[in-house]
Amino acid sequence: MNWYAILAIYVLFWVISAFIVLPFGIRTPDETGEAMVKGQADSAPSNFRPGRVAIRATILSAVLFGLYYANYTQGWVTVDMLPGYRAAP
């Protein structure tokens, strides 16, 4: 596997991980007791911390990519093992 393929796959894992960890730890103004700004949605977060989201996404994506790369090199699960897969003639 080329280094740019590794980088591209890792970036995909990072983006997916960022969306997965995004809602964790978010509190609304109703939960924190803060006053809402005029026009603010009730579900808008009042304590969003992008740095914390980035750190969590980096950790999760490193674990997921590590599992992916280990499977790629060790061949634990291959396409032939997937149900319904038929090899091309």
Amino acid code (one letter) for 1: M
Residue 89 lies in a domain: no
Residue 84 counted as domain residue: no
- Residue-by-residue pLDDT tens, the chain, 89 positions: 899 999 999 999 999 999 999 999 899 888 888 888 899 898 889 889 999 999 999 999 999 999 999 999 999 998 888 888 776 66
Domain range enclosing 49: 3-76
Residue 50 lies in a domain: yes
Residue 35 lies in a domain: yes
Residue 64 in any domain: the answer is yes
pTM: 0.81
- Number of domains observed in the structure of the chain: 1
